[in-house]
Amino acid sequence: PLEPWCIGGPVIKGFGRGSKVLGIPTANLSPEGYSAILSEHPAGVYFGWAGLSGRGVYKMVMSIGWNPFFNNTEKTIEPWLLHDFNEDFYGEELHLVVVGYIRPEATFSSLEALIAKIHEDRKIAERALELPQYLKYKDDPYLKSSL
């Protein structure tokens, strides 16, 4: 099993690929300063806990992927917080504790197939995070340190 790892910073603007339109907003974090930790983890889909400053701790499912606009040492970090927010929270401090890995990055033949897969990932994350081995990290001080 994977050792939990932590990553955090202010929520930055992504490339607006329409994830919100798809109903899948992702709160992007800058990979700056995390090249070592990111190079240790393959591109793919992960799950864990997200502490959003002044708000709370939420389940999250996250894509770590190559950023085609930069060189191959930079990956994008895009967690989807599994909670309904009434507004955007760009610039707010977000701390992640990543506890599990779901699957490698993949390509899809259609947008529908991609969306369906992400919802499958979400269900896997939601269920897994109820298991004691993952639930215990909800109390990780790193998440609270941003509240």
Which residues does the annotation mark as catalytic?
Answer: 78
Q: Which is nearer to Mg ion, 89 or 101 (CB)?
A: 89
Q: Smallest distance from the beta carbon of 23 to Mg ion, in angstroms?
A: 13
Note whether 44 and 61 are within 8 A (CB). Answer: no
Q: Which of 15, 23, 42, 133 binds ligand ADP (CB under 6 A)?
A: 15
Q: Report residue 6 as tokens.
A: 């932590």
Name beta bridge partners: 5: 98
Q: Which stretch binds ligand ADP (CB under 6 A): 7-15, 29-37, 95-103, 124-132?
A: 7-15
Name beta bridge partners: 66: 75
- DSSP letter, residue 43: S
Q: Which stretch binds ligand ADP (CB under 6 A): 10-18, 38-46, 113-121, 134-142?
A: 10-18
Note whether 81 and 67 are within 8 A (CB). Answer: no
Residue 80 binds to ligand ADP (criterion: CB under 6 A): yes
